[in-house]
Amino acid sequence: MVDSGAVSLSPVIRPLLPADVPAAAAVGGAALSDQIPAEFLPSTPIERAHVVRRQQARVAHLLGTDPDGVWVAELAGEVVGVALGLVREDVWGLSLLGVRPGLQGQGIGGPLLRAALAYGDGRRGAIILSSTDPRAMRSYARAGFAIRPALAAAGQINRSRIPDGLRSRPGDPTADAELLDAASRHARGASHRRDLQAFLNAGDRLLVLDGRGFAIHRGGSPILVAAFDPEGAADLMWSCLADGPAGGTVHVDYVTAGNDWAVEVALDAGLALSPDGPVFVRGDTGPLAPYLPSGAYL
């Protein structure tokens, strides 16, 4: 058993291996669950099983695309922490940093973060989406990142307020490839297309607005929006909300300065605003607007 009362532990930090995927996903999922409001946690065995599959697929996907950027922390032969870093067109991002609940603050997260950060050495830019955990925010600030405060929005959509004449349509990863690349490069300085199939495999839906940008949503919640202009981004966000189930609850995360269009849509849709974990940036990451980043793939 791991002694959760120890002041400082000495984990083994090593590259994540294929056999580690289930354990790493479980640790990361448990760490994330501590930060997610109860109403957004899976409530049925089927929903929980789906979340587990999605978490494992995320780890496996990044092991495949970025084998030098994914790490685990091990104590007594047991995986107790995970860090997932990715690089897309010379922009580094931290997809996940998680330590088993009860073991945080005991010398595990720091070495994991340093290993993941090393994968980003010399890159043009870097992005971290932080939780509201003060320890995480301190670590990212100390690593030389600039802070961008963020808002979140959540609630049940007032569907009577969905505007008429939305122009976004279902997207095609191949036919719309040029637009997908261009919108991502405009908004965050790097394409998302390498991760697009991972979204779709998880059941997420792709929407595009010709010449303006694209969005990906999960059950009506926009989990990624990249566009050239605020009006196009607003159409995409409304289209995500409209595509969700009637009576469903949605959430919008990491709304930073320069993305007031997302605040306006959220308020018009009847969602409630709240503080969110900040976004940390370093180097050249583009304007990060119009942009709602993906928690998994930035």
- What digits encode the pLDDT tens for the residues 242-295? 998 888 899 999 999 999 999 999 999 999 999 999 999 999 999 999 999 999
**What pLDDT score was predicted for residue 280?**
98
Q: Bin 217: left if φ > 0, else alpha if -120 < ψ < 50, else beta.
A: beta
Strand partners, 92: 87, 126
**What pLDDT score was predicted for residue 36?**
59
Among the ranges given (35-44, 123-132, 145-154, 269-278), the one the predictor scored with the smallest mean pLDDT:
35-44
209 sits in which H/E element:
strand 205-209
Confidence (pTM):
0.91
Residues in the chain: 298
Average pLDDT over residues 218-233: 97
What value does the mean pLDDT of the chain take? Answer: 92
In terms of pLDDT, which residue wins out, 51 or 226?
A: 226
Q: Measured between alpha carbons, how far is residue 23 from residues 55, 74, 159 in Å?
A: 10, 11, 40
| Domains in the chain, CATH or no CATH each | 12-123 (3.40.630.30), 152-292 (3.40.630.90)
User: pLDDT tens digit string along 2-13?
Assistant: 334 445 778 999
Per DSSP, which regions of the chain are E strands? Answer: 12-15, 70-75, 78-88, 91-99, 125-129, 146-156, 169-170, 205-209, 213-218, 221-227, 249-256, 272-283, 291-292
User: Is the Cα dihedral 36, 222, 271, 248 positive or negative?
Assistant: negative
User: pLDDT tens digit string along 104-126?
Assistant: 878 899 999 999 999 999 999 99
Q: Which one-letter DSSP state was computed for residue 176?
A: T
- Of 252, 210, 271, nearest to 235 (Cα)? 210
**What pLDDT score was predicted for residue 31?**
83
Cα-Cα end-to-end distance for the chain: 35
Instruction: Give the span between the Cα atoms of 197 and 202, in whole angstroms.
Output: 8
**What pLDDT score was predicted for residue 2?**
37
- Of 120, 33, 105, nearest to 71 (Cα)? 120
Average pLDDT over residues 138-161: 96
**What pLDDT score was predicted for residue 30?**
87
Q: Measured between alpha carbons, how far is residue 162 from residues 158, 172, 238 in Å?
A: 8, 24, 7
